[in-house]
Amino acid sequence: MNLHIIARGKIGRGPEAELVDRYVQRIGWPVQITELPDSGGKVPPLPAAAKVVTLDETGRQLGSVEFARQIGDWREQGIREIRFLIGAADGLTDAERASADLSIAFGKATWPHLMARAMLAEQLWRASSILANHPYHREG
């Protein structure tokens, strides 16, 4: 299963990029990151057997275990790619929101899109560790 993060804006080489890299390297599945300009640019075509997850302030607030279970369920269903969409400073378009199989939020606070990318990378690492029964996640 491929995890594909499609994010608006360039992350550059700052501390956020270091966090993303640190967690992406730990994930046991292939991870692809596509950066698009703040507006415009072409989103790569969605492959068959794929799911789309948007990061949006109006999305569901899932706990880490629930997030991991959703990814695990999709993996067991034969989903080949989970695509995560992160908007620019102005958020996602209506079409991007409409394409979502799941929309999630990292709490009620609004997060800068570069931090949201780092938080997503950590949650993907955490999900992969939960599904592998790795001790990284301490529940309770």
Assigned CATH class of 2-131? alpha beta
- The rounded distance, in Å, linking the Cα atoms of 127 and 123 is 6
Residues 38-80: tens digit of each pLDDT: 888 888 999 999 999 999 988 999 999 999 999 999 999 999 9
- Find out whether 83 and 51 touch, Cβ atoms under 8 Å: yes
Q: Is the pLDDT of residue 123 over 80?
A: yes
The model carries a pTM of 0.93
Place of tokens 């990378």: 121
Which of 28, 79, 19 shows the shortest CA–CA distance to 49? 79
- The rounded distance, in Å, linking the Cα atoms of 43 and 115 is 21
